[in-house]
Structure 1
Amino acid sequence: MTDYGHELQFGSFLTPSARQPEQVVALARASEAAGLDLVTFQDHPYQPAFLDSWTLLSYVAAATDRIRLSGNVLNLPLRQPTVLARSAASLDRLTGGRVELALGAGGFWDAIEANGGPRRQPGEAVAALREAIEIIREVWDVDQRGGARVIGEHYRVAGAKRGPAPAHDMEIWVGAYGPRMLRLVGEFADGWLPSLPFLKRGAAELPELNARIDEAATAAGRAPAAIRRLLNLSGEFTDSDSGLLSGPPTAWAEQLTELALTAGVSGFVLMTDDPTTIARFGAEVAPAVREAVAAERGRPRGSVGADLAAGAAAGADAPADEGTPVWDETTRPVAPPAPEGHAYTERGHAIGQHLVDVHDHLRQELKQLRDLLRQVRRGALSPAVARSQINQLTMRQHTWALGAYCASYCTLLAQHHGLEDQSVFPHLRTSDTGLAPVLDRLEEEHVVIHELSERVDRALVDLINKPDDFDPLQAAVDQLADALTSHLGYEEDQLVEPLSRYGMAPGQLA
C-alpha cells in the first residue's frame, strides 16, 4: 500500500481548440464552477488547429478567480527554458500563485523539427529536460548572487539575470514513462504526470513505475514522498459499472480512492471537453474521494496517532474563538531520561541549540503571518497580495520536501520537517530505540501541521471570492499558530538533549 500523503487535487484536461476558443474558456470556467482545483491544456505549438497554450493560460487566468492552471505538458523543445521560467513566474505573480509548471521532453519530432526545434534521440531528450529544469530553478532563485549559469550539452545559460521568482513555490511536474525519464523524476522533479491511457498495463502498472521513481529519489537523497503523483484520466459516466472509470459516480469514487491509497495518486486530471462530465466529476466524484481518503488516513496507527486524527477533525471547522486544540497534548510520549554524568561537547551543544534557532525563525514567521492577517482585516492589504506574501514565507515554500542540510541548516518548515522525517529521525532511532514513540508522534504531527498550512492557503482563496467572510481565515491561522507553537515546544523538550548527546549522522553536517 502506497499513500504519499499529499493533499488531493482534481482537475480537467481540455483541448485548446482554435475553432471555437470561447468554448475552451467556458470549459475552464465550468471547471472552476464545479469546484475543481486545476485546469490544464495540451501543448502542441506545431499544431495550427490549437490555440497557443501559453496565450490561452494567460487569458484563462484573467477569466477565472480561484482555479490553478498548467500546461499538460509543455513542449520543451519549442519553449526556451529561460523565457519559460520567466513566463511561468510572471503569470504566477499576476494570479497570486495559481500556476504550476508541467514539462515534457518532446515528441512528434518531425513536427518539432519542421517548426525550427531540435530533433533529439531519447537519451538526448532526457538530458535536455534535466538541463532545462536546472535552468528554470536557477532563474527563479533570486536569492543567489550573480547570474544563472548552466553550461550543458543542449542549453547554455551563461550569467542570465535571475528573476522574477514565482509568487509561490511553483512545482515542476514531468510527463514520463520510460526508465530514464522516471529516474529523472525521482532525482529532480516535484511531480509525475503520466496519462493513464498511455500506460501499457493501465493502472496495474502504477506501482512498478512508482517504485522506479522512489528508488531514484532515495538514491539521490530525496524522500519519495516529496514527489507528487498525478494522473491524467479518461472515462465516462454510465448507469452500470463496467470497468475502470466506466460507471456511476459512486464507482468512480471507489476506484479513485483505491488509486490514491494503493498507487499514491493525489492528483486526478480528467481528459474531457464535456461540461456535464466536468460538473459531475467536481460535484459528485471529487468530494466522495476526498472524504473516503481522509477517513482512511485518519484511522489510528496505534495509540500514538489516535488523538491526532480526532483532534484535527474536531478542530477543522471550529470558529476562531473556540480555541479547539488540534491534538491532546497529554498523550504525547516522553523521551527516556539522559544518562547521569554524560559529558556534552561544545559541538554537541551547538547541534542541540541549532534546533531552537531554527524554531525561533519559524516563530518569527508566525508573527509575520498574524501581521499580514491584521492588514487584510483592516483593508490595508488585499487577500490576493497577502496570499502571495504568505506563500513566500519559508514555512510555506516547500511541501515537506527533503532539503539539503547545509552549513546554516534548513530554516524552512517544510524542508526542516522533511529532513527530520527522512534523515535526522532515523539517526536518532538507531542511536536510542527509546526515542521511537516520540519520533513517531513528531512525524504524525508534521503531517497535521502541513494540512493546517494548506488550510490557511485555501481560506485565503475563499476570502478572495467572499471578501466579507473573514472568520474561516482567522480560524485557520489561529489553529496553525497554536498547533505549530505547541509542536515546536514539544520537539525542543524531547530532542534538544538527544541531539546534543548523539550529534548528527555522517553526511548531515556540511
Structure 2
Amino acid sequence: MSDYGHDVAFGVLLEPPVDRAQDAVALAELAEHVGLDVVSLADHPYWPDRLDTLALLSAMTVRTSRVTVMSNMANLPLRPPTTLARTAATLDILGGGRFELGLATGAQQMWDQIEGDGGPRRNAGQSVEALEEAVQIIRALWTSQTPVSFAGTHYHVEGVTPGPAPVHKMGIWLGAYQPRMLRVVGRRADGWVPSSPFMPPEYLPTANSLIDAAAEGAGRSPSAVRRGYNIEGQFSSGSGFLEGPAKVWAEQLTELVLDQGISTFILYRAADADTIRRFAAEVAPAVRDMVAIERSRAAPSM
C-alpha cells in the first residue's frame, strides 16, 4: 500500500439521541469552530430513540459554514435511491457544496427491524447487488441531462427526470468490510469508510488490496478512492491502537496515512466537547505536520 497524497482531514461521528437534539447540533458547531473538517451522523432509522439522520444533518448544514457534512452511513434499505439522491443534492445546495453521501447496505443483524419498518429483507449477496445498483441510479440522477431509466434486480426506474444537481461533484462513500463489497468500493465509490472497532488497522492492508485491484480492473486509479476511517480510542495510558496520549494517536494515524492511504479520520462515538477539542488541538495538527514532513522527504528532488 502507499500514500495516495490526499489532503488529510479530521472529523467527528456524532450521535443523534432524541432527547438531546440541540446538543448534537452544538457539537457540530464546536467541531467547525475548533478546526475540524467533517461532521457526520450514523443512520439507524428503525430506532425510535434516534432522531432522523438526514433531517438533523440539514440542521447542522445551516448552522455551519465550512465543514463537510456527511451521512455515515445512510441506510439504503429504508431510503430509496431516487429519494436519497434528491435529499443529498438538496443538502449540498443548502450548504453551498459541503455535503458528501455515505451509504451502506444496512447491518445484517438489523434485518428484523428494517423489515418491520417496511424495508426489504436481503441476504448479504442481495445487499451488495442492491447497493451497487443504487449507486448507479443516484449518480445518474445527479448528472444526466436526459430522463433516467434503470432496470436492475432490486431497483427499477423508468424515465425519471434527473435533478436537482449537487453544487459540487459530490462523493459517494461506502461502508464496506467483506470482499464482495470492497470490490464494489473499488469499482464504483469515491470513498471508503470502515470503523476501527469492526476493522482494526491490521486488516486494512488486505481490504485496501481488494479495493485497489477492483479499481484497476474497472479502469480506475486506486487513488480515485479516498480512504476514511471511523476511529475509536481513548486518551489514556494503554498500549493498544489509539490508547495513549495525543502523541501516540498522532504517530499511529500518521502511519496509516503514509502506509495505508487513509486520509480522513473521523472520531467515532465522540460524545463530549472536551474530547473533540483535544482531538482538534493535539492530534490533527500533529498528524498534518508529520505527514507534510514525510511527504516532502519522499518528493523527488528537482
User: Which category describes the TM-score, using the shorter chain as reference length?
Assistant: over 0.9
- Which position in structure 2 is the counterpart of 1:118? 120
2:225 aligned to 217, 224, 227, which one? 227
CA contact (8 A) 1:241 1:251 kept: no
The amino acid of 1:27's aligned partner reads L
The corresponding residue for 2:149 is 149
Residues 43 and 71 of structure 1 are in contact (CA less than 8 Å); yes or no, is this contact kept in structure 2?
A: yes
Equivalent-residue separation in structure 1 for 2:210 and 2:250 (angstroms)? 27
Task: Give the Cα–Cα distance (whole angstroms) in 1 for the partners of residues 298 and 261 of structure 2.
Answer: 19
Q: Distance in 1 between matches of 2:124 and 2:21?
A: 34
Give the aligned residue type for 2:208: N
- Aligned equivalent of 2:285, options 264, 284, 287: 287
2:254 counterpart residue number: 257
C-alpha distance in 2 between matches for 1:291 and 1:149: 48
Cα distance, 1:27 vs structure 2: 1.1
1:83 Cα deviation from its structure 2 partner = 1.0
Q: Report the Cα distance in structure 2 between the residues aligned to 1:38 and 1:45, rounded to whole angstroms.
A: 22
| Residue of structure 1 in register with 2:245 after alignment | 248
Question: C-alpha distance in 2, partners of 1:293/1:8?
Answer: 8
| Unaligned 5+ runs, structure 1 | 308-510
Structure with max Cα Rg: 1
Secondary structure in 1 matching 2:99: coil
Following the alignment from structure 2 to structure 1, what is the Cα–Cα distance between the partners of residues 180 and 271? 32
Deviation at 1:220, TM superposition (A): 1.0
Counterpart of 2:142? Answer: 140
**Contact in 2 for aligned 1:76/1:104 (Cα 8 Å):** yes
Higher strand fraction: Structure 1 or Structure 2?
A: 2
* Deviation, structure 1 residue 300: 4.5
| Distance apart, 1:242 and its partner CA | 2.1
SS in 2 for 1:138: helix
Aligned equivalents of 1:93, 1:299: Cα separation in 2: 40
How far, CA to CA, are the matches of 1:73 and 1:20 in structure 2?
Answer: 20
SS in 2 for 1:236: coil
Q: Distance in 1 between matches of 2:171 and 2:254?
A: 24
Q: Tell me the residue number matched to 1:461.
A: none
* SS of residue in 2 equivalent to 1:58: helix
Looking at structure 2, the residues matched to 248 and 187 of structure 1 have their Cα atoms a distance apart, in angstroms, of 38
1:92 corresponds to: 92
Unaligned stretches of 5+ in structure 2? none
What do the CA deviations read for 1:484-506 (whole angstroms, capped 9, x no partner)? xxxxxxxxxxxxxxxxxxxxxxx
Residues 100-499 of structure 1: pairs in structure 2 closer than 5 A = 100-107=100-107, 108-142=110-144, 144=145, 146-199=146-199, 202-238=200-236, 240=237, 242-271=239-268, 272-301=270-299, 305-307=300-302
* Runs ≥4 residues deviating over 6 A: none
Residue 241 of structure 1: CA displacement? 5.2
What does the per-residue CA deviation read over 1:148-172, in whole Å, with 9 as the maximum and x for residues that have no partner? Answer: 1111111111110011111111000
Task: Verify the 8 A CA contact 1:173 1:191 in the aligned structure 2.
Answer: yes
Identity among equivalent positions (%) equals: 53
Q: Letter of the 1:63 partner, please give it.
A: R
Other structure's SS at 2:262 match: coil
Q: Is the 8 A contact 2:62 2:94 kept in 1?
A: no
The one-letter amino acid of 1:236's match is: Q
Query: Would you say the 8 A contact 1:299–1:306 is kept in 2?
Result: no
Q: Distance in 2 between matches of 1:87 and 1:71?
A: 11
Task: Evaluate the alpha carbon distance shift between residue 122 and residue 300 of structure 1 in structure 2; reply closer, same or farther with a 3 A threshold.
Answer: closer
SS of the residue 1:182 aligns to:
helix
* Contact kept in structure 1, 2:92 and 2:168, CA below 8 Å: yes
Greater RCO, CA 8 A, separation 6+: 2
Size of the aligned set, in residue pairs, is 299
Cα distance between partner residues in 2 of 1:174 and 1:205: 17
Does structure 1 retain, via aligned residues, the 8 Å contact 2:11–2:36? yes
Distance in 2 between residues matched to 1:20 and 1:217, nearest whole Å: 41
Is the contact made by 1:86 and 1:163 (CA closer than 8 Å) also made in structure 2?
A: yes
Deviation at 1:243, TM superposition (A): 2.2
Counterpart Cα distance in 2 of 1:38 and 1:253: 18
CA deviation vs aligned residue, 1:103-158 (integer Å, no higher than 9, x gap): 0011210000000000001110000001100000000014x3x2011111111111
User: Which whole-Å CA distance do the structure 2 matches of 1:244 and 1:99 have between them?
Assistant: 30
